[in-house]
Amino acid sequence: MDRNNDSPDPRQDGNPYDATDATERRGEATPTNQDAAAQSIGAGSPEDLPDDTFASRGAVKQTVGIGRKTESGSFVFPAFDDHHPPEKDLIDDCVHCGFCLPTCPTYVLFGEEMDSPRGRIYLMNKGLNEEPMNDQMVRHWDLCLGCMACVTACPSGVQYDKLIEATRGQVERRYERTPQDKAFREMIFQIFPYPNRLRLMAAPLKLYQRFGIGDALHKAGVMKLLPKRMRAMEALMPMLTEQQEVPEVTPAVGERRRRVGFIKGCVQRVFFSDVNAATVRVLAAEGCEVVAPKLQGCCGALSVHAGREQEFEGFARQLIDTFEGLELDNIIINAAGCGSTLKEYGYLLRDDPEYAQRASAFAEKVMDVTEFIQHLGPVAERSPLPVAAAYHDACHLAHAQGVRRQPRQTLKQIPGMEVREIKEAEICCGSAGIYNMVEPEPATELGDRKAKNVLNTGARMIVTSNPGCMLQIQASLKRMGHSMPMAHPMEVLDASIRGADVETLLAK
Q: CB-based contacts of 495: which residues, under 8 Å, 6+ apart?
A: 278, 385, 504, 505
Among positions 108-127, residues that touch another protein (CB under 8 A) are 111-114, 119, 122-123, 126
Contacts to another protein from residues 430-469, by CB under 8 A: none
Closest CB to another protein among 80 and 362? 80
Residue 464 parent element (H or E) = strand 461-464
Residue closer to another protein, measured from CB, 71 or 501 = 71
Q: Considering the rule CB under 8 A, would residue 421 count as an interface residue with another protein?
A: no
Binding residues among 84-113 for another protein as defined by CB under 8 A: 92-99, 101-102, 111-113
Instruction: From 3-11, 232-240, 358-366, 450-458, give the range in contact with another protein by CB under 8 A.
Output: 3-11
For the chain, report the end-to-end CA distance as a whole number of angstroms.
80
DSSP class of residue 466 equals -
Residue closer to another protein (CB basis): 8 or 179: 8
25 vs 224, which CB is nearer to another protein? 25
Give bridge partners of residue 291 from the DSSP assignment: 249, 261
**15 touches another protein (CB under 8 A):** no
Nearer to another protein, 23 or 483 (CB): 23
State how far the Cα of 352 lies from the Cα of 362, in Å rounded to an integer: 14
Q: Which is nearer to another protein, 76 or 336 (CB)?
A: 76
Angle CA 200–217–438, to nearest 5: 60
DSSP letter, residue 245: P
Tell me whether residue 15 or residue 190 sits nearer to another protein (CB atom).
Answer: 15
Q: How far is the CB of 91 from another protein (least distance, A)?
A: 10
**Residues in region 471-490 near another protein by CB under 8 A:** none
Phi, psi (deg, nearest 5) at residue 260: -120, 150
**Range in contact with another protein (rule: CB under 8 A) among 131-139, 218-226, 286-294, 370-378:** 131-139
Whichever of 11 and 479 has its CB closer to another protein, that residue is: 11
- The three-point CA angle 343-346-351 to 5° equals 150
Shortest approach of another protein to residue 21 CB, angstroms? 10
Pairing label, strands 366-368, 330-333: parallel
| Residues of span 302-321 touching another protein by CB under 8 A | none
Distances (CA, A) of 62 to 59, 139, 375, 444: 8, 17, 43, 12
Residue 67 CB, shortest distance to another protein, in Å, is 8
Q: How far is the CB of 191 from another protein (least distance, A)?
A: 34
Among 143, 145, 150, 158, binds another protein (CB under 8 A): 158
One residue of 11, 210, 256, 375 binding another protein per CB under 8 A: 11
Nearer to another protein, 1 or 207 (CB): 1
Q: Which is nearer to another protein, 131 or 418 (CB)?
A: 131
Q: How far apart are CA 309 and CA 320, in angstroms?
A: 16
- Any residues with CB less than 8 A from the CB of 385 and at least 6 apart, and which? 414, 415, 416, 417, 492, 495, 496, 501, 502, 505
Positive/negative CA dihedral, 470, 476, 477, 481: positive
**131 interacts with another protein by CB under 8 A:** yes
Determine the size of the site formed for another protein (CB under 8 A). 71
- Report the nearest approach of another protein to the CB of residue 58 (Å): 9
Q: Which segment (132-140, 265-273, 339-347, 488-496) binds another protein by CB under 8 A?
A: 132-140
Rounded Cα–Cα distance for residues 400 and 151 (Å) = 8
- C-alpha closest to that of 412 among 380, 389, 392: 389
Q: Which of these segments, 130-138, 247-255, 383-391, 425-433, binds another protein (CB under 8 A)?
A: 130-138
Write the DSSP assignment of 262-277 as a string of letters: EE--SHHHHH-HHHHH
Residues near 407 by beta carbon (within 8 Å), at least 6 away in sequence: 370, 391, 397, 463, 465, 489
Interaction residues for another protein, span 25-64 (CB under 8 A)? 25-26, 30-33, 35-37, 40-50, 53-55, 57, 59, 62, 64
Least distance from C-beta 264 to another protein, angstroms?
A: 36
Minimum gap (Å) between residue 5 Cβ and another protein:
9
Residue 143 to residue 161: CA distance in whole angstroms: 14
Q: For residues 112 and 176, which CB has a smaller minimum distance to another protein in the complex? A: 112
404-415 per-residue burial string, b: 16 or more CB within 10 A, e: under 16:
bebbbebbeebe
| Span 194-213, contacts to another protein by CB under 8 A | none
Helix ranges (H only) for 143-248 are: 149-153, 160-174, 179-191, 195-210, 213-220, 228-236
Among 106, 134, 436, 466, binds another protein (CB under 8 A): 134
* Minimum CB–partner distance for residue 150 and another protein (Å): 12
Q: How many residues does the chain have?
A: 508
Of 41 and 507, which CB lies nearer to another protein in the complex structure? 41
